[in-house]
């Protein structure tokens, strides 16, 4: 059965283009406009990996990662951002993120991060 990937990004264009890319690679995808929407979803417990924006209205990706860790749900996360901050990058990677990609990112880099995450 193909892996299920959640895409969480408030930018509809990024969310949908990432979704289409991952579907073309054979992954099952679910997309959410916010971290809160993801956390409320029944599908949250069914995903194998998350691709999340760092900055979003309300809870950002960093807050999502912390919430999942607090809940004991260590779902692998790859972060994407248009606003790279070394401090944030260091923080999320130290907490177990499998990637920190700067928008626009190369498709191959995202796929490599996902494949690495899914192996763990």
Tally of domains within the chain: 1
Q: Which domain holds residue 46?
A: 4-119
Residue with tokens 């679910």: 30
When the pLDDT of each residue in the chain is averaged and rounded to a whole number, the result is: 97
pTM: 0.97
Helix then strand count (H, E) for the chain reads 5, 5
pLDDT of residue 1: 86
52 pLDDT band, cuts 50/70/90, is very high
CATH number for the domain that contains residue 17: 3.40.50.2300
pLDDT in tens, 64-107: 999 999 999 989 999 999 999 999 999 999 999 999 999 999 99
What's the burial of 36, exposed, middle or buried (CB within 10 Å: 0-12/13-18/19+)? middle
pLDDT of residue 2: 94
């Amino acid at each position: 059965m193909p892996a299920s990937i959640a895409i969480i990004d408030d930018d509809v264009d990024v969310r949908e283009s990432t979704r289409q890319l991952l579907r073309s690679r054979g992954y099952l995808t679910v997309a959410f406009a916010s971290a809160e929407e993801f956390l409320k979803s029944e599908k949250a417990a069914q995903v194998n990996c998350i691709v999340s924006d760092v900055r979003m209205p309300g809870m950002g990706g960093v807050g999502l990662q912390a919430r999942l860790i607090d809940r004991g749900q260590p779902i692998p996360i790859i972060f994407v951002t248009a606003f790279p901050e070394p401090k944030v990058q260091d923080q999320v990677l130290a907490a177990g993120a499998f990637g920190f990609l700067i928008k626009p990112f190369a498709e191959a880099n995202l796929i490599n991060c996902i494949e690495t995450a899914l192996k763990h």
